[in-house]
Amino acid sequence: MSGFVFSEKPIGIERGEGAYLYAEDGTEYLDFGASYAVTPVGHCHPNVVDAVKSQVEELMYVQASYPVAGRTELYEKLATVSPPGLDNVWLCNSGTEANEAAIKFARNATGRSKIVATRRGFHGRTLGALSMTWKDKYKEPFEPLVDGVEFVSYGDGEELADAVDEETAAVFLEPIQGEGGIHPADATYLRRARELTEEAGAALVFDEIQTGVGRTGTLWACERAEVDPDILTTAKGIASGLPLGATVCADWIADADPEHGSTFSGGPVVCAAANATLDLLVEEDLPTHAADIGDYLVESIDVANLPIREVRGRGLMIGIEVKRGANRLLRDLALEEQVLALPAGRTVLRLLPPLTIDESHADQFVESLEAVLG
């Protein structure tokens, strides 16, 4: 018997601490992928570990129709730190579930069905979220998918204007496309999306599953453009690796009283992890730290004069477009330099390290990248 979905790498991981993972043989790996941005405060931060241990000793689980203090605290925290006007929180188990809920909530509130999404976008792998995801490789084996999704070019305001109409329930955008190659949207485009959805009576949904929780130098990437959505989805780093997602909504979405539910919505243990994680992000101002270290890392890559095409991104969500296959380069980094990172398409290295890294970690990464690029 074995798992059959993931292709396992030849590195058995035993434990993690801070910016490092440790293999079964004791080898230390600098983790610049953070398993797709899920450890913003570092692996096994003591505050998060203590919060989880304490909660496990008191109550491991009770369904969300029974209030518990930790879940209520998380509702309040998320409403406080989310963009203005987003005071209603739905908790689930992953980013794809958060986006599934957003589809349902938007359709329920508007009475419409059309969804506008973007080419190169990625919103998850369950059926509804997958329908808004661009790459055919992910979709074709599972078709037919959910109807009513129209794709437009990312960053093209005119094309977006042509697509958004009186039949549109929602526009789904990533403020920075992650899976699509680390492509930031400019503020003008996000503001135009806000104008168009308001005029049409549609919901503007920002998928901040990868960009949120301080990753891009602000708590939410949309803050930089000063654009507030009707729905924001978040997951990945919000609970330091425990399975949690959230769909945070404006009153007009929540007041439509959507019929929705989940057995494992807002479990006490994952809420404890999320509360501790959010406290650390805010108290230690990790978004600002991510902005500063991200700038340092990009400047260091530029100074190194490496044989690469481009570096793009914000904060500690960085894409390095290289001149050869990214997967082979990632293999060399892992096996020869003990540095872990991620792909974002065929030729882009994706860096999503813990937000707690310092200049020494950035230097170590650049030195390793120099070594494998020759």
The number of domains in the chain is 2
pLDDT at 7 (0 to 100):
79
CA torsion angle for 291, 297, 299, 303 (degrees, to 10)?
Answer: 180
Is residue 333 very low, low, confident or very high in pLDDT (cuts 50, 70, 90)? very high
Answer yes or no: do 106 and 164 share one domain.
yes
- Single out the residue of 354, 353, 349, 366 nearest to residue 309, CA to CA: 349
CATH code, 172: 3.40.640.10
Distance from C-alpha of 354 to C-alpha of 212, rounded to nearest angstrom: 13
- Secondary structure string (H, E, C) spanning 120-154: CCCCCCCHHHHHCCCCHHHHHHHCCCCCCEEEECC
Answer yes or no: do 321 and 368 share one domain.
yes
Instruction: Tell whether 314 is covered by a domain.
Output: yes
Instruction: Tell whether 6 is covered by a domain.
Output: no
Domain limit, last residue, from 283, 309, 339: 283
Answer yes or no: do 369 and 248 share one domain.
no
Strand partners, 320: 311, 349
Answer yes or no: do 59 and 194 share one domain.
yes
Provide the pairing of β-strand 168-173 with 114-118: parallel
Instruction: Tell whether 8 is covered by a domain.
Output: no
Answer yes or no: do 84 and 122 share one domain.
yes
Cβ neighbours of residue 261 closer than 8 Å, sequence gap 6 or more: none
Instruction: Tell whether 171 is covered by a domain.
Output: yes
Is residue 249 very low, low, confident or very high in pLDDT (cuts 50, 70, 90)? very high
Is residue 2 very low, low, confident or very high in pLDDT (cuts 50, 70, 90)? low
Is residue 1 very low, low, confident or very high in pLDDT (cuts 50, 70, 90)? low
Would the pLDDT of 189 be above 60?
Answer: yes
- Which backbone phi and psi does 233 adopt, to 5 degrees? -110, 140
The residue behind tokens 């813990």 is 354
Answer yes or no: do 36 and 53 share one domain.
no
pLDDT at 356 (0 to 100):
98
Digit-coded pLDDT (tens) for 4-38:
787 788 899 999 999 999 999 999 999 999 999 99
Percent over 70 (pLDDT), the chain: 99
Range of the domain at 253: 46-283
Answer yes or no: do 92 and 184 share one domain.
yes
Domain limit, last residue, from 283, 298, 326: 283
Instruction: Tell whether 111 is covered by a domain.
Output: yes
Distances from the Cα of 158 to the Cαs of 148, 155, 162, 163, 260, in angstroms?
20, 9, 6, 9, 35
Instruction: Tell whether 77 is covered by a domain.
Output: yes
Domain limit, last residue, from 283, 314, 331: 283
Answer yes or no: do 33 and 174 share one domain.
no
Answer yes or no: do 72 and 161 share one domain.
yes
Instruction: Tell whether 30 is covered by a domain.
Output: yes
Answer yes or no: do 80 and 17 share one domain.
no
Instruction: Tell whether 4 is covered by a domain.
Output: no
Give the mean model confidence (pLDDT) for residues 144-151: 97
Answer yes or no: do 160 and 257 share one domain.
yes
CATH code, 329: 3.90.1150.10
Answer yes or no: do 51 and 41 share one domain.
no
